[in-house]
Structures are given as structure tokens and as C-alpha cells.
Amino acid sequence: MACHSLVKMIREDMDIYAALPLLASCLGHKTLTVVEGYVRLTCSEYPDLLQQCLPLNNFIYNKEDGIE
């Protein structure tokens, strides 16, 4: 549900920086740290979104993590 919701928000042109706090709130998370994993999962499952997620992924994850 989290990944599908994130994909929907991104595809509807919502800024990912706005989408993540909304997603965190819906899931009951108090911080974005837990939600960061959904970005990775979403981009893995939806390669077409990878380019849109790339700036955030580069900020959150090291290139050593395999996301480029």
C-alpha cells in the first residue's frame, strides 16, 4: 500500500518531498527515517520512477548502495 500510494502521488506530479511526510503520517510513522525505505522499494519496483526519485535517492543513499 505504501509503495502504491507513493507511486500514485509521484505520477500525479506531487513533489516527493511533500509526498513522503504525507505517507509517513498515513502510516503512523513519527519520522521520515522509516519511510525512506519505501523510496528504495518503489524505485526498484517502478523503474520508470527511478529518474524522478534519483535526486532524493542520491541524498539519502550512498552510491555504494547500488542505486544510481
**Short-list 52, 1, 40, CA closest to 23:** 1
Q: Domain extents for the chain?
A: 2-65
- The verdict on pTM exceeding 0.75 is no
Contact between 15 and 54 (Cβ < 8 Å): no
**Tens-place pLDDT, residues 8-41:** 888 898 987 888 889 889 889 888 777 777 666 6
Q: How confident is the model at residue 64 (pLDDT cuts 50, 70, 90)?
A: low
Average confidence (pLDDT) over 49-58: 72
In angstroms, the Cα distances linking 61 to 6, 25, 28, 65, 66 are 18, 22, 23, 6, 9
